[in-house]
Amino acid sequence: MSGEPVELRQADYVVPAEAANWQKRALIVGVVGAVLCIIGAFLPGQLTQLLRGYLIAYVFWYGLTVGGMALLMLQYLTGGLAFLVVRRVAEAAVKGLPLMFVLFLPILLGRHYLYDWMNDPTLTVTLRNHWYLNTPGWIIRWLIYFAIWGAFSFVIVKRGDRHDEPIEAPPRLQGICGFGLVLYALTVSFASFDWVMSLDPHWGSTI
């Protein structure tokens, strides 16, 4: 290998027939599941339970997406070659980030069924944490999280599409990935507070 960047064309990517079949099956399962969720949402008293289950599933899948982004940044930062074996898998996960943004909309629209403190601000112990647990702040932070994840994922996926050989990442990209890992740790932590821990508005920590 010469070590020079390899430019890849879109036509160079060929989806194997077996993988294409699995994609179709997954799409069918997804459509059927979405239809069942919509039906369940209209059943008496089931919307809250449906949204709770949806939130659990969402957190799992979004974790895989942004987790793939973190692994890619770590690989570019450290220059380790062992991760090259699964780099394309991680990149495929990261490319699902726009979909995860769209899939958050049911949580956004049904937030009043999930988070009691949005309906009754007194539940947040106003003098202590109402400055953080409020609806405008919750929505703004959601947009900030995805803006940060989207920016870093765009940079690393763009590089992955251009270079297919194990060449060393330039210092500028290493610096971006180092800074990105810090922001990743912060945003994922605060997203967990916002979307999961705040289900119990009285949750707290002595740390």
Find the domain containing 194 and state its range. Answer: 10-199
Burial class (CB in 10 A: 0-12, 13-18, 19+), 184: buried
How far apart are the C-alpha atoms of 52 and 100, rounded to whole Å? 17
pLDDT in the model for residue 59: 95
pLDDT in the model for residue 163: 60
Strand ranges, E, within 55-173: none
Write down the pTM of the prediction.
0.78
Q: What is the token pair recorded at 99? A: 């979909």
Band of the pLDDT at 13, cuts 50, 70, 90? low
Q: How many domains does the chain have?
A: 1
How far apart are the C-alpha atoms of 24 and 6, rounded to whole Å? 31
**Residue 204 maps to a domain:** no
**Residue 2 maps to a domain:** no
**Residue 207 maps to a domain:** no
Give every CB contact of residue 55 below 8 A, 6+ residues apart in sequence: 107, 114, 195, 196
**Residue 82 maps to a domain:** yes
Per-residue pLDDT tens for 27-77?
A: 888 888 888 877 877 777 778 888 998 999 999 999 999 999 998 888 888
Per-residue pLDDT tens for 155-195?
A: 888 876 666 555 566 777 788 888 999 999 999 999 999 99
**Residue 5 maps to a domain:** no
Q: Position 92: which residue type? A: A
- Which CA distances in Å does 79 have to 2, 171, 183? 17, 11, 20
Q: Position 201: which residue type? A: P
**Residue 53 maps to a domain:** yes
Is the separation of the CB atoms in 190 and 26 below 8 Å?
no
How far apart are the C-alpha atoms of 81 and 171, rounded to whole Å? 17
**Residue 205 maps to a domain:** no
Band of the pLDDT at 140, cuts 50, 70, 90? very high
**Residue 191 maps to a domain:** yes
- Residue at token pair 């008293």: 45
* pLDDT of 8 higher than 50: no
* pLDDT of 11 higher than 50: no
Per-residue pLDDT tens for 71-125?
A: 888 888 887 677 777 888 888 889 999 999 999 999 999 999 999 888 877 766 6
pLDDT in the model for residue 161: 65
3-state DSSP helix/strand/coil % of the chain, to nearest 5: 75, 0, 25
